[in-house]
Structures are given as structure tokens and as C-alpha cells.
Amino acid sequence: MGDCLFCKIARGEIPSKKVYEDSEFFAFHDINPVAPVHFMLIPKLHVASLLEADASHAALLGKMLLLAPKLAKEQGLVNGFRTFINTGRGGGQEVMHLHIHIIGGGHIPPMVRRG
């Protein structure tokens, strides 16, 4: 996708603070972090969101989930981290290129408060 922000970041056309890169994935720090460590893991393949993912992406998605803890540990998040994926406008997604947010390193409150 020529005009996709995260495709451009993965191609190195827009600078980023790179965390990791291989032939299929790219990871970089979020420009507006919500925690001491906040980076995103993306596939180099342009998939707009989980709504556009299908069975042909099963291996890619599996690899992403397995890569996330490896990178988190490398970033110092040895005691754990939070991952989240915003999906579509209804899920608050702003950049339409599938990405996993990985955050940690500070106080990470419960995501859902009840009562």
C-alpha cells in the first residue's frame, strides 16, 4: 500500500525508532507512548485490521503473537506486558495497518474496572 503510514515506516521511508525487523515483521516505538515501554509490532504485509484478516493470514498472526513476548523481554519487560489490538473505527483504530501494541514497564492498571 503506497500511502499507508505503517507500510512507509516498515520500508524505512518514514523514520521510526526501530525495535526489530525481519523479512516479515517490523517493530518500532510508539511516537506517543502510554507507558514507559510502548512499541508496535506489524506485519510488513499490508493487512488493514483484524477485520480484513482471513485464514490465509493464520501463520502470520501466529508468528506475530509468538514474536511479541520475545521482543517484550528484549525491551526489558521480563515480568510481563500488555498487548492490545485496536480494530476498525469501532475499536478506536487510527492507523489502518494491523498492529499489536505492546506496553509495560510502569504501573499497568486493570483494563476493565468493575463495580
CB of 6 to Zn ion, least distance (A): 5
Q: Which helix (H) or strand (E) holds 74?
A: helix 58-74
Least spacing, CB of residue 52 vs Zn ion, in Å = 11
In the 8-state DSSP scheme, what is residue 3? Answer: T
Catalytic one of 29, 38, 57, 99: 99
Cβ atoms of 36 and 105 closer than 8 Å: yes
- Of 79-108, binders to ligand AMP (CB under 6 A) are 86, 92-95
Q: List the grid coordinates of 102.
A: 505492546
Angstrom CA distances, 32 to 40, 53, 60, 91, 112, stand at 11, 26, 26, 18, 22
- d(CA 8, CA 15) in angstroms, rounded, equals 9
Residue 13 CB, nearest approach to ligand AMP (Å): 11
- The residue to which cell 502470520 is assigned: 60
For residue 115, the partner it binds in Zn ion, ligand AMP, none, with Cβ less than 5 to 8 A by kind, is none
Compare residues 5 and 45 and give the one whose CB is closer to ligand AMP: 5
Residue 49 within binding range of ligand AMP, rule CB under 6 A: no
Supply the residues annotated as catalytic. 99
Binding site for ligand AMP (CB under 6 A): 5, 14, 16, 28, 30-32, 86, 92-95
